[in-house]
Structure 1
């Protein structure tokens, strides 16, 4: 068992990001001080060696993610300066020179709204970036040239909540790709699309699940011809659209308010080999909820009520369709040119299967305010943290019918700091 060692990052202000890459060979920290620090990690001894520390943005860094190691040493960052930036390691520069990592690309927020969360996914030879801003605008990007990351094209864009939050409203948006190699529909033999993307987003007090499709026969009834043609014209290599396939509301607890608690974080379990996706959700009311998502063929399901959520304790009603429009400048221009054009629904998904979510474990009072959730690589252990300054480890135990609910197996308390906060999870009460 590895020994616990103290780690003091090279920053002058509080940390907002702490990220390991996929093979745990590199560590990245980001801070309110606008700087990023990168470390090499020896896989045998676990020793860290600092590669560089440099100023990456002109404002507080909100989130960062490593690319898959097979693509090289790259990572993406977002900050309050309304910029998304892609970085790469320049091995010709000396370590600790401040130039070891150089910026490859920068994408500015179209709406001039700070980004809140970002994630990266590599599928075969294709790499995608998904980012959400503080008003809930979700954007999916891919590199214009698959072999280079210096230019990025917008694949699709939509608002995850309607109406959009106003300036100064309490908001919470986190976005996560499904990290599994193959999507659940392909593993369940209900789809032939191995490259389908699955994205989970916390949209205020709901988690929404989106899947992509590039099948023109399925897209055509749901996307207008004007909007259909704008997608490839913006540089995307193929026409691909995101469709909402499932919506999970805040799980009712004794702390439930009329508006519902904000959801701070969501995480996919990295092991869906058992025929279902597993999602963990952290909430401001201190609850950590774990959901199991299964698929059903539309031949045996009612398409009108195809995406539902239930609990082991209480059945929950079928979810109602929700209208959500593309909001990019080009799409707005197309809509203004034809004012009688109906709104586009991204909830009435065109897939030949339906989604069903079951709450398999509701961990009430896990924290005073649950900030984040994270799975171990095996998918059997869940880590959570919150405003009580503790990190808790939950493990799924054996029950009467096989695997049962998650139970607390370890707890690590941090230092008592009344000013500590979870800057990397969401934006609460800040001016946009």
Structure 2
């Protein structure tokens, strides 16, 4: 093997771990694999986006590299492959961007992927989290800003995805002033529809399900159309907590192996907490209990009060703002009782904060990583228990 084939002193392994060619000049902040597992994106603090393909020798090679944002690139997600090669990013420049592959452009030209849609938050607060969902040819986008504004968008043209319209927006935890560190995150359920128990309990089959977190709280929302011609609207269904542990990331388990829902939370105390979310119902769904808390649709605040402008910054301000939830929305739609229970608490040995979690495609296993740089992999066993089956990273 020649020196040219050795990267940072490490020889690439054909069927094992491999260093990526032209690795980022700064810390990698986000990564995403496509559904086929043959493409990957790395986004980093050097403002760059790097796309990699697997070649005929099963090695990862650079497909293209370009400056994607005018600040660090914070998150990236592929959008359904049935629509073409699309992916989305958010950056520290307060931009959400949607990218499409231009097959007429050469690889490594810096023009292989083109930005076809760019948007800044209407409230001038940076994006901190987003999620996409595709059902057949329908695409949905949910965004969450640093001050807690949750928005749902749909494309005006599902083929081009070049223009989007907002369907609803709310503040699940109330509007938080500048300087608040509430750690807002969101995760969209990726299954085609709600879980079977939720359907039996009366949830609309076309409902979109998502979880939103702040501090030590997770709220479950269903986006539902009150009438056939109406836009989707957010309805708060449930609220659960991780006692005092602050939440850094949440992930709704995919797949349809279970009749209920499972949500994982990566926490600041070095744990990953697994929650079971269920909807009690009679066998025919006729005896469902009504317990939903609809939320008031709201746009960004027109002006902050003097109290808001002078509010304390940091975690204390986040805790103080947790009680400022959305006002009740008129009309009740599919009010179905939800129940939750923490069923597992997975611990990292060093007790350092856990920052990222990711489920595999069927929701039977997940990976987590924290401050020590190690990746821990957990699998659900018989009886609903979770055991660690692999670990990789620095010694």
State TM-score, norm by structure 1: 0.76
Contact 1:185 1:295 in 2 (8 A): no
Q: How does 1:133-282 map to 2 (within 5 A)?
A: 133-162=145-174, 164-184=175-195, 188-191=199-202, 193-216=204-227, 238-250=230-242, 252=243, 260-282=244-266
Distance between the aligned counterparts of 1:300 and 1:387, measured in 2? 47
Partner of 1:110: 122
Whether 1:76 aligns to 2:88 is yes
Distance between the aligned counterparts of 1:322 and 1:182, measured in 2? 20
Partner of 1:350: 333
Partner of 2:392: 412
Q: SS of the counterpart of 2:280?
A: strand
Shift of 1:359: 1.2
Shift of 1:117: 1.1
Distance between the aligned counterparts of 1:187 and 1:41, measured in 2? 40
Distance between the aligned counterparts of 1:324 and 1:214, measured in 2? 14
Shift of 1:158: 0.7
Distance between the aligned counterparts of 1:265 and 1:349, measured in 2? 30
Shift of 1:216: 3.1
Distance between the aligned counterparts of 1:96 and 1:348, measured in 2? 54
Whether 1:376 aligns to 2:360 is yes
Stretches of structure 2 lacking an aligned partner (at least 5 in a row): 1-13, 305-325
Q: SS of the counterpart of 1:63?
A: strand
- Structure 1 pair 124/323, CA: closer, same or farther in 2 (3 Å)? closer
Shift of 1:277: 0.9
Q: SS of the counterpart of 1:81?
A: coil
State TM-score, norm by structure 2: 0.82
Contact 2:276 2:342 in 1 (8 A): yes
Shift of 1:349: 5.9
Contact 1:160 1:203 in 2 (8 A): no
Shift of 1:75: 0.8
Shift of 1:406: 0.9
Task: Find the partner of 2:53 among 40, 43, 50.
Answer: 40
Shift of 1:130: 0.9
Deviations 1:22-60 (A, max 9, x none): 222211111111110111225x85322211101111111
Aligned CA-pair RMSD: 2.8
Partner of 2:40: 27
Q: How does 1:324-343 map to 2 (within 5 A)?
A: 326-328=298-300
Q: SS of the counterpart of 1:155?
A: strand
Alignment length (residue pairs): 357
Which one has more relative contact order, counting CA pairs under 8 Å at least 6 apart?
1
Distance between the aligned counterparts of 2:58 and 2:181, measured in 1? 40
Whether 1:124 aligns to 2:124 is no
Q: SS of the counterpart of 1:50?
A: strand
Whether 1:291 aligns to 2:275 is yes
Whether 1:3 aligns to 2:12 is no
Whether 1:51 aligns to 2:63 is yes
Q: SS of the counterpart of 2:82?
A: helix
Contact 1:244 1:348 in 2 (8 A): no
Q: SS of the counterpart of 1:16?
A: strand
Deviations 1:233-284 (A, max 9, x none): xxxx85110111111112x3xxxxxxx3321111122123321111111111
Contact 2:201 2:288 in 1 (8 A): no
Distance between the aligned counterparts of 2:80 and 2:184, measured in 1? 23
Q: SS of the counterpart of 1:372?
A: strand
Distance between the aligned counterparts of 1:170 and 1:76, measured in 2? 24
Deviations 1:118-165 (A, max 9, x none): 111111211111111111111111111222211110011111212x33
Contact 1:281 1:290 in 2 (8 A): yes
Contact 1:188 1:275 in 2 (8 A): no
Deviations 1:366-398 (A, max 9, x none): 641111111122322121111122111112222
Distance between the aligned counterparts of 1:149 and 1:243, measured in 2? 26
Q: SS of the counterpart of 2:381?
A: strand
Contact 1:245 1:349 in 2 (8 A): no
